[in-house]
Amino acid sequence: MQSFLDVNAMRAWLDARATALTERDTVPLLAALGRVLAADVVATLDVPPHDNSAMDGYAVRVAELGQPLPVSQRIPAGTVPRALADGSVARIFTGAPLPPGADAVVMQEVCTVGDDGRVSVDAEVTLGQNIRRAGSDIAAGNVVAPAGKRLTPADLGLLASIGIAEVDVIRPLRVAVFFTGDELAEPGEPLADGKIYNSNRYWLTPLLLQLGCEVTDLGTVPDNFGATREALTDAADFADIILTCGGVSVGEEDHVKAAVEAVGTLDLWKIAIKPGKPFAFGRVGAADFIGLPGNPVSGYVTFHVFVRRYLEQRQGLAEVREPSVIRLKAAFEWTRADARREEYLRVKRVVENGETVLARFANQNSGVLSSCAWADGLVRLAPGQTVAPGDWVDYLPFE
């Protein structure tokens, strides 16, 4: 079946099929970078655990100030203070627990220490000044990181601060990739007449790895029905998703379509998108099958417009990236609007007169990835939309 779909309809169709994984791994904190949290993490303690000092200085009783006072104890961070003796101050350092009885901390810069060791305060002091209260950062019972969040360095730091040493994360999405086409040569091999180098393998696998997928590369499969069918059934044994580039248009040289239909189901579309157009989604056993266009630029753009979002939903991500469109000003002109298709231009942020604007790669028609390598994102144009310099446009960063 060959259908025609606009971009939003295709996205909605995929959204309806994107079932999040639920199986979990328990991993040490530092191994959880980029993984997706399987459950809310709830704080079991207050941070800070005690009232403590926000400054290097002196812990005082405000009512006793106005006269030089002796230093009755010294409280470095990590120690346990005694109650503040009457008529005295305590030397205290940033992060150190406040001694019981103290009601403010005076920063050392406004204190004078006399020859007798007594401390005078040369500033007005208010109750509670420079005290960080127990539980003021995190109160026990707070959710500090929600289920479905991809863990960042800051998340790991935050979880460490409440003593979390390991976390439950969704298991990695297993993606099998393979490539077909007797015209494909591998980089490093001499290029026989009529052949081209396989470039799809070299952008697709890294993109999947960057998203935290577990990638199995089944290599280049000979361009025939039997070998393609075998690759598909092999992959369906272990993979959540089988991804390939090319072989799924209506051309009669395409064995992938026939092979997927023989061992599973397949829907094929022409999407109203440029570059792009052919897109296939099917099932082989329990695995999804996704067929990207064989043209590297079309495949790369299609991946960013549809596949990344789909993978993130399957990974269990609560917030997928689609909303992170940024409105920026174009520093370019685009007059060759496509009347019927959404168009995705390869663009890059540049600074002009102190303002961030978008530059466009000159040759938007190239069959190779020069435009994608140069760019840091895409501009999405509605069908028929032209652009004049200074126009606001929708920018979708690659990262």
Q: Which of residues 179-198 bind a copy of itself (CB under 8 A)?
A: 181-189, 191, 193-198
CB-nearer residue toward a copy of itself: 17 or 74: 74
- Whichever of 204 and 280 has its CB closer to a copy of itself, that residue is 204
The closest alpha carbon to 220, from 237, 241, 195, 238, belongs to 195
Among candidate residues 256, 317, 316, the one with its CA nearest the CA of residue 281: 256
Which of 72, 368, 383, 391 touches a copy of itself (CB under 8 A)?
368
Per-residue interface string for the shown chain with a copy of itself, residues 25-44, x marking contact by CB under 8 A:
----xx--x-----------
Segment lying near a copy of itself (by CB under 8 A), choices 13-21, 78-86, 256-264, 336-344? 78-86
119 three-state secondary structure: strand
Main-chain phi, psi angles of 141, to 5 degrees: 100, -20
87 binding a copy of itself? (CB under 8 A): no
Q: Which residues of 263-277 are buried (b: 16+ CB within 10 A; e: fewer)?
A: bbebbbbbbbbbbbb
Nearer to a copy of itself among residue 93 and residue 284 (C-beta): 93
Instruction: Put residue 219 in one of left, alpha, beta given phi > 0 → left and psi -120 to 50 → alpha.
Output: left
Q: Of 59, 105, 114, which is closest to residue 81 (Cα–Cα)?
A: 59
Binding to a copy of itself in span 319-338, by CB under 8 A: 323-328
CB atoms within 10 A of CB 161: 15
Q: In terms of CB distance, is 295 or 313 closer to a copy of itself?
A: 295
State in angstroms the smallest separation of the CB of 199 from a copy of itself. Answer: 4
Q: Least distance from C-beta 224 to a copy of itself, angstroms?
A: 12
Query: In a 3-state reduction of DSSP, which class is residue 105?
Result: strand
CB of 252 to a copy of itself, least distance (A): 8
Binding residues among 126-185 for a copy of itself as defined by CB under 8 A: 132, 136-138, 144-145, 152-166, 181-185
Residue 4 or 265: the one with the smaller Cβ distance to a copy of itself is: 4
Between 25 and 64, name the residue whose CB sits nearer to a copy of itself.
Answer: 25
| Closer CB to a copy of itself, 47 or 284, in the complex | 47
**Tokens coding 388:** 């004049």
If binding is defined by CB under 8 A, does position 373 make contact with a copy of itself? yes
The reply on whether position 95 binds a copy of itself by CB under 8 A is yes
Interface of this chain with a copy of itself, residues 341 to 360, rule: CB under 8 A: 349-351, 355-356
Residues between 201 and 260 that touch a copy of itself (CB under 8 A): 201-207, 209-210, 223, 249-251, 253
Q: What are phi and psi of 351, to 5 degrees?
A: -105, 125
Q: Which of 25, 56, 64, 168 binds a copy of itself (CB under 8 A)?
A: 56
Distance of CA 338 to CAs 168, 234, 349, 386, Å?
Answer: 47, 41, 23, 9
Residue in the structure block whose two tokens are 């940024």: 326
Q: By the 8 A CB rule, do 9 and 273 touch?
A: no
Contact pick of 97, 172, 291, 377 for a copy of itself (by CB under 8 A)? 97
Burial annotation 110-125 (CB, 10 A radius, 16+ → b, else e): ebeeeeeeebebeeeb
